Amino acid sequence: MRRLADTRSVLRRHRRSLLLYHLFFTGLTLAVLGPAIGALVAALEPVTGEGAISTGGIATFLLSPGGLLWLAVTLTALMITLALEQAGMTLIVASDRPMGECRLTLIALWQVARRFGKLLRLTIFQVVVHLCVALPFLLVIALAWWGLLSSYEVYFIRITRPPELWWFAAIAGVALTGMLVCNGWLFLRWSLAEPIVTLEKVPVRRALAISSQRIHGSKSKLLILLVVVGVLLIALPALFTWVFQLLGTPYLALVPDSPQALLPAITAYIALYLLFMVILTFGLSAGYSLLIYQAYRVTGGHPSPQPGSPPSSVTGVRAWLVEGVLLAIVVVQAVLVVSAFDTPEEVTITAHRGNAFLAPENTASAMERAIEDGADYLEVDVRMTRDGELVLWHDADLQRLLGRPERISSLYWDDIRELDAGSWFAPEFAGETILTLSELIDMARGRAGLFLDLKPDHNSRDLTRRVVALLQEKDAVEGTVIAAAERYVLSEAKALAPELKTALLAQFVIGPLNDQGFDILGLRYNQANAGAVARARQLGYELHVWTVNQPAEMSRMIDMGVDNIITDRPDVLSRLLAARAGLSETERLAIKLRNWLR
């Protein structure tokens, strides 16, 4: 209790200096460090090669020399940012000289700049050692994936969940637990290194050794504190957002339905949210730094600061400067957020394998239903049979839908042309046959564009060439998108027909993303965010998100500003867009606000 009281006392005495430092450092990070780090990571592309965009590519990329280099640089950049902020807060709370808030903040910034070299060396050393500790566990996970699941498609694994998946989950769970324990223990041992480097004139290696010695007798107590603070860092912002969103609906219901009243009310609401969020994140950041500093003190570190003179009861102009800066920042941000609400709702609809929610995927019934539902594009999966027929089928084999293990690329068209591709979905679709790409082109001509996801394998290496040749033969290049998760497919398609639009399909992006060679980035919807939209706008490609089936997520993607939504339910998305077009200004802004808070 005494330590908690001391922490509150220090926080109360230095709160303005800590807040001003937090605001300045956050602004510096966004304006300078963020772009600099982004440029540094992008500059690694010639060394690291292309990043991972799919689950199967994670291990391959991260365990490659280039991937390890990218991971080390990225982690170092993140950790040095956190270390610099913590170091500044440490210097502020360790100060025992009475002085103005602004002066103390400037002194802390100057002292952090002087210690930048040591803090950078400390961070690089910690990251490298942490990666060395984690590498064996990552290698176990990678070997388990390659040995158990690499022969399966990710989609097949997610849908059917074969027994090998549970073996992999067990092995990966044990490995991740071991990594968490080992790296957590190492983090705990070195948790006092930052204040030691900041406050004592010792080399980096010596600081790490001293930290390990001082922590040795008090690991359990410090571990509990760090775990609690870690949980709070993750949980409190999400909980706070949920509460604010819960209160937003009745608040907006009281606002008159006119732009003159609504826009100021929305601006005030967002400003209040941002204000409390800044205070919350500041409190968590400062609280963590204070806990580390208190642990440093009680384990024999720097002498306790003197109480100093209490704050004056009469607060002058300079004392309120920090609060004024904070309020100005919050108001500006709120205005920018409200301005962003004017994002045009020009979203096109791509039917994922047709209307795969109401008809069997990739069949003529699914395509007809999607066209009737107002789809702008029909997304289909294209494979090639052994004798060169281009067919619409997602999986590499027939196992998931028809219970047969044969691969499409090993079968002749005559072997599969009469197969029942519809009864697995519902009895009324019995007798539905596998659709060919040629048939789809004729069906969709003048009614919808084509979004062709090419899936070549070792038996169908000329799939791209044959698809492009068919499109050219049937005069269907215009209005068609060639999509793939493999960049070489897009490059080959562009070389054969430069006027074709191409889409790179990514479950996520880890590492450098080559921004050349595609017109569209197709990103899994749960990986899409405002940053991805901004990057697409900056670099000039479209952002499509897949596969979005819930109306709430569709609405969120629309308000985020994506160009296209790929969905199994084009009818639902079409009705949602029509309904949004008929909303009042108040209703539309209320939806945008709710989606922004999410």
Number of domains in the chain: 2
Q: Are residues 418 and 333 in the same domain?
A: no
Count of positions (residues) in the chain? 598
Q: Contact 363/435 with Cβ under 8 angstroms?
A: yes
pLDDT at position 410 = 92
Q: Is 426 among the domain residues?
A: yes
DSSP class of 207: H
Q: Are residues 290 and 404 in the same domain?
A: no
Domain extent, residue 232, equals 2-306+317-340
* pLDDT above 70 as % of the chain: 78
Contacting residues for 234 by C-beta, under 8 A, at least 6 apart: none
Q: Is 386 among the domain residues?
A: yes
User: What average pLDDT does this structure show over 189-212?
Assistant: 90
Q: Are residues 322 and 384 in the same domain?
A: no
Q: Give the tens place of pLDDT for each residue, 114-143.
A: 999 999 999 999 999 999 999 999 899 989
CA distance 245 to 239: 10
Q: Give the residue among 501, 532, 534 at the shortest CA–CA distance from 518.
A: 501
Q: Are residues 389 and 292 in the same domain?
A: no
Is the pLDDT score of 453 beyond 80? yes
Q: Are residues 332 and 468 in the same domain?
A: no
Residue type, 158: R
CA distances from 63 to 68, 76, 165, 373, 541 (A): 6, 17, 21, 45, 30
What CA dihedral angle connects 500, 501, 502 and 508, to 10 degrees?
180
Q: Are residues 353 and 334 in the same domain?
A: no
Is the pLDDT score of 315 beyond 60? no
Q: Contact 14/97 with Cβ under 8 angstroms?
A: no
Residue type, 165: L
Q: Is 312 among the domain residues?
A: no
Q: Are residues 260 and 388 in the same domain?
A: no
DSSP per-residue codes, 118-185: HHHHHHHHHHHHHHHHHHHHHHHHHHHHHHHTTTS-HHHHHHH--HHHHHHHHHHHHHHHHHHHHHHH
CA distance 412 to 388: 8
Is the pLDDT score of 317 beyond 60? no
Q: Is 276 among the domain residues?
A: yes
Q: Are residues 301 and 409 in the same domain?
A: no
Per-chain mean pLDDT for the chain = 82
Q: Give the residue among 112, 107, 249 at the shortest CA–CA distance from 597.
A: 249
Vertex 87 angle, CA 84 and 90, to 5° = 155
Q: Is 238 among the domain residues?
A: yes
Q: Are residues 322 and 382 in the same domain?
A: no
Comparing 167-181, 198-212, 220-234, the range with the smallest average pLDDT is: 220-234
Residue of higher predicted confidence among 220 and 189: 189
The pLDDT confidence band at residue 310, using thresholds 50, 70 and 90, is very low
Q: Is 311 among the domain residues?
A: no
CA distances from 321 to 17, 19, 282, 316 (A): 10, 11, 17, 9
Q: Are residues 468 and 583 in the same domain?
A: yes
DSSP per-residue codes, 236-251: HHHHHHHHHHHHHHHH
Q: Is 436 among the domain residues?
A: yes
Q: Is 128 among the domain residues?
A: yes
pLDDT at position 386 = 93
pLDDT at position 105 = 82
Q: Contact 93/105 with Cβ under 8 angstroms?
A: no
Phi-psi region of 391 (alpha: psi -120 to 50; beta: other; left: phi over 0): beta
Phi-psi region of 200 (alpha: psi -120 to 50; beta: other; left: phi over 0): beta
CA distance 414 to 52: 38
Q: Are residues 104 and 134 in the same domain?
A: yes
Q: Give the tens place of pLDDT for each residue, 392-428.
A: 999 988 988 888 889 999 999 999 998 999 999 999 9
pLDDT at position 335 = 64
Q: Are residues 123 and 202 in the same domain?
A: yes
- Reported pTM: 0.78
Estimate to the nearest angstrom the gap between the alpha carbon of 376 and the chain centroid.
Answer: 27
Residue type, 585: E
Q: What is the CATH number of the domain that holds 530?
A: 3.20.20.190
